[in-house]
Structure 1
């Protein structure tokens, strides 16, 4: 999508986003790309959004959603790696607390949509509704395994706009996997797909772009070490551009 004009981006995303007058300021959001190595290849967890959803209906996506201000008040067993926190805060010029809330929202959404609790087995208490499952299953959320993969701001002219941070984690960061899936039921047909197969699924354009970035990064850094390069996609002077954070 790098270098595409706004008209070209609108056409490419017409099936993904409702076009029309929307908010001028994009809202913070986060999504989590869960990875595992199986049979010599890397697989990614994806799920299909229900057709009744107004936002990206029927598309295969990663678990994720809008950041809740309450997410920043959740205690963690382990905070973000310093290199990852620096990437999240410096380029966007946001406070560490806000970066932490964004990362935690990816963890919460992964529980709510996929039934996967990322953290450590430990006593955990909270009154926040979105985090009660962690308390019930004695899992303290942990952020040290998260890696910042990409950032993308929804172009203007959409009914909904998000400033999305794409984070990744390996499956061994998951402390508990609920067999019935997440409590919200927002995602169906959850599946671990090889990266090449995931790119051929019915996915939003930006998801395909991020998967391509992830494949390249894994080629150069199979372990996904902290502090790696982070591509940033946004509209500048009527053209969708890619920058490195």
Structure 2
């Protein structure tokens, strides 16, 4: 390609990135409350990743349409479902709410080897959830609380509309003996007190979400349904924090 064509293509790519619609994604912040201090699960993204390589994050990833049709032991609370529906724009549905929560559970297995759910005789019957079927576990959405949302600002080559859920470690029914997930996307998985997690090499939004989780747990230590949700997004040219 001639240099002149490259020069012309750069503005076109920038404009295309600006118009890029964010993809639904979900992340799960697991909290261990068995010790004197609350600890959260973090893992370092593999350096091969294009998006935030080497950064410490929570398990999470893109939501797939099939996730919304997966059987569950327990469903989202009405409060959590209603909060998810509020920000869905023109495509709100209970199935999309389920897909977001279930993708957070699926990604937590794939990246951290942890099965958030309950023992049950029913089978899911989907290849992405085969490991759950093998252990007789159904995902449990009722153990999760939706507490935060963040949308990647325009301009990047990848944009995500990420919903953040929180659950206690005791909701994990089983784990892989390898100490990591089959995708190998997260390395150096560790359970850390909040103040130590904030010292890691973490994205700015991850730092904000950790601090939001601290606020939620401070006001609602049992994670009872009904708390507010915080949202981070670009508005009028600046990144803003909103509560609803």
Aligned partner of 2:205 in structure 1 is: 206
Q: Does 1:89 align with 2:88?
A: no
- TM-superposed deviation, 1:67: 0.2
Cα pair 1:155 1:161 within 8 Å, conserved: yes
- TM-superposed deviation, 1:90: 2.2
Which has more helix, going by share of residues?
2
Residues 176-195 of structure 1: pairs in structure 2 closer than 5 A? 176-180=174-178, 181-195=180-194
Which one has more relative contact order, counting CA pairs under 8 Å at least 6 apart? 1
What TM-score, normalized to structure 2? 0.89
- TM-superposed deviation, 1:171: 0.5
Alpha-carbon distance between aligned partners in 2 of 1:110 and 1:91, rounded to the nearest angstrom: 24
- TM-superposed deviation, 1:128: 2.4
What TM-score, normalized to structure 1? 0.89
* Alignment: residue pair count: 227
Aligned partner of 2:42 in structure 1 is: 46
Residues 70-89 of structure 1: pairs in structure 2 closer than 5 A? 70-89=66-85
- TM-superposed deviation, 1:221: 1.5
Could you list the per-position Cα deviations for residues 35-76 of structure 1 after superposition, in whole angstroms to 9, with x for gaps in the alignment? 011432110001111111111100111000000001011011
Cα pair 1:123 1:135 within 8 Å, conserved: no
Equivalent residue of 2:202, what SS?
coil
Equivalent residue of 1:200, what SS?
coil
Aligned partner of 1:121 in structure 2 is: 119
Moved more, 110-119 or 120-129: 120-129
Alpha-carbon distance between aligned partners in 2 of 1:102 and 1:76, rounded to the nearest angstrom: 13
Cα pair 1:30 1:66 within 8 Å, conserved: yes
Equivalent residue of 2:173, what SS?
strand
Equivalent residue of 1:144, what SS?
helix
Name segments (4+ residues, structure 1) moved above 3 Å: none
Cα pair 1:29 1:163 within 8 Å, conserved: yes
- Computed over aligned residues only, the root mean square deviation of the Cα atoms, in angstroms, reads 1.4
Alpha-carbon distance between aligned partners in 2 of 1:80 and 1:182, rounded to the nearest angstrom: 25
Alpha-carbon distance between aligned partners in 1 of 2:211 and 2:134, rounded to the nearest angstrom: 37
Equivalent residue of 1:196, what SS?
helix
Given the alignment, which residue of 139, 142, 154 partners 1:141? 139
Contiguous gaps of at least 5 residues in structure 2: 1-12
- TM-superposed deviation, 1:126: 3.5
Contiguous gaps of at least 5 residues in structure 1: 1-18
Moved more, 171-180 or 118-127: 118-127
